Structure 1
Amino acid sequence: MTTRELNLELSDGHRIPQLGFGTYKIDNDAAPEIVRRALEIGYRHLDTASFYDNESGVGEGLRRAQLNRDEVFITTKVWQDSHGFDATLRAFDESITALGVEELDLYLIHWPDPTQNKFVETWEALRRLRDEGRIRSIGVANFKEHHLQRLLDETGELPTINQVELHPEFAQPELRAFHREHGICTEAWSPLNRGRNLDHPAITEVAKRQGCTPAQAVLAWHLAIGNVVIPKSADPDRQRENFDAAGIVLTSEDIATIDTCNTGVRTGKDPDTFA
């Protein structure tokens, strides 16, 4: 199967590889070889976070792959325990030190955590780091429309990207419409819903029509509707299977079929209450 090189342009003019490699729950000791192998397969976008406690392992995997720094797009995130302007600046320094890089491609606020009421202040720190040339692009994760609107109202600037729970069973059409209206790129975490519904008749029907696996059909759906997607697997065969989803081009009928899976039920935490 031939894969396509897929990149999306963010609102700031920088480009992001649409199919990335997620590292959630990959142990720091195991990360170097898992990441090196993913880069060897062809991934050029790595997603980590301070909360994952594997930034140093991800950075070591990048070095083992012996690629030029500008060949790989790296994302990490600031956790709730570092919300606030000065705390975020310190957290950023700790993250890039762990990763072993001087500049970050994308830095995200991991959750809004409205109970602290510091996400706007945290956003201002990201803007400072971007303006100083230490981050190319800035964004958020797990923000709802009203969180995004508050950033715009209080700072005059929206994030380039919002990384949220998104999969066929929780497709978030209203949030995606808000993103489109405001030039925000949509990024999906848990894009396969941790494999819970890959036997859904709509998904297996599309997989059969396309001659691919159900997981590949779902990832191809994400790519077709314009999401950045970051599947995670420590298994090399699964890594390759997920990467090869870039070679699948769904029809409008295929997309509509998978769209019928949406129940609107969230599997993960609610951003309004998670603290």
Structure 2
Amino acid sequence: MREFAGYDLPLLGLGVYQNDDAKPACLAALKHGYRHIDSARYYGNEAQVGEAVRESGIPREQVFITTKLTNEDHGYDSALAAVDQSLKRFGFEYIDFILIHSAMSDKERRLATWRALIEAKKQGKVKAIGVSNYGVKHLEEIREAGLETPAINQIELQPLCQQKEIVDYSKKHNIFIEAYTPLMRGQWDVPAITEAAKKYNKTPAQILVRWSLQRGFAPLPKSANPERVVQNADVFDFEIDADDMASINALDRGKAGQITWNPVDVD
């Protein structure tokens, strides 16, 4: 858990990107202990996530729900309208976290969008606000404007792409890091990972989730397979030792190691 604004963020979340039928995975996740689901307007499955939360029988206040504004939502009025649309799709009275999905517009529109999220938070429509795919430059824009600091920056973060400059900046300014693509989209045929999996009698995916947790990040492993969703969360009965952590940490290739879009350098 990580405390935000007086309540706790469950560090392990379920990602639902590219899942057109997200409800089965969400129901399996909630049944087996997940309390954090990461969606986005772009994913087109906010309604399914909302249905799963209601059908799970778990009180709404015990489930942490994230969504993200698309690039087309940038701008003050359009961002506020997008928040209302997402609330309607989820069928919720509030959303726990809303992020700006990326910095792919311009400084003026980014800041206007951020001001809109601050207003949505004041209105009680969202509990906390953050960003995604923001580089140091974009985070600095917010700081220099004297606006509220994002609570979270969600970025691609896995052993081959550790984004050290952004992580260091975020730690300095108390911005928590969520890690998307933590499972490397299955591209884990790397000795440091496969050998650790054998040593700890775990899957490579479980090693990657555990590595992310031990680094202090909030990993968001994605799977549409309910059995895999449950398996990915079976990571709390072991710890990767210091030598193995160092071996995995040494895999970093910077930008060359990125697997997905990772637009942290956009102007």
TM bucket normalised to smaller: over 0.9
Identity of aligned residues (%): 38
Post-superposition offset of 1:200? 0.2
For the pair 1:155 / 2:146, whether they are aligned, the reply is yes
Match of 2:260 among 247, 251, 268: 268
Q: Secondary structure at the match of 2:236?
A: helix
Post-superposition offset of 1:66? 1.2
Mapped contact 2:74–2:105 kept (Cα < 8 A): no
Unpaired segments of 5 or more residues in structure 1? Answer: 1-6
Unpaired segments of 5 or more residues in structure 2? Answer: none
Mapped contact 2:153–2:176 kept (Cα < 8 A): yes
C-alpha distance in structure 2 between counterparts of 1:115 and 1:134, whole Å? 25
| Correspondence for 1:137 | 128
Alignment of 1:54-73 (within 5 A): 54-73=45-64
| Correspondence for 2:156 | 165
| Correspondence for 2:70 | 79
For the pair 1:26 / 2:19, whether they are aligned, the reply is yes
Q: Secondary structure at the match of 1:24?
A: coil
Mapped contact 2:107–2:141 kept (Cα < 8 A): no
| Correspondence for 2:242 | 252
Q: Secondary structure at the match of 2:2?
A: strand
Post-superposition offset of 1:236? 2.0
Give the letter aligned to residue 20 of structure 1.
Answer: G
Q: Secondary structure at the match of 2:83?
A: helix
Aligned length: 264
Post-superposition offset of 1:115? 4.1
C-alpha distance in structure 2 between counterparts of 1:122 and 1:155, whole Å? 15
Q: Following TM superposition, where does structure 1 have runs of at least 4 consecutive aligned residues deviating by more than 6 angstroms?
A: none
C-alpha distance in structure 2 between counterparts of 1:236 and 1:54, whole Å? 16
For the pair 1:190 / 2:181, whether they are aligned, the reply is yes
TM-score by length of 1: 0.92
Q: Deviations over 1:197-227 (max 9, x none)?
A: x120011122222221111111100000000
C-alpha distance in structure 1 between counterparts of 2:6 and 2:241, whole Å? 29
Mapped contact 2:28–2:230 kept (Cα < 8 A): no
Q: Deviations over 1:113-172 (max 9, x none)?
A: 144741111000111111222211110000001100111111332100000011101011
C-alpha distance in structure 1 between counterparts of 2:167 and 2:151, whole Å? 13
Q: Deviations over 1:78-132 (max 9, x none)?
A: 1111101110000000001100100111110000114474111100011111122
Give the letter aligned to residue 256 of structure 1.
Answer: A
Post-superposition offset of 1:271? 3.1
TM-score by length of 2: 0.95
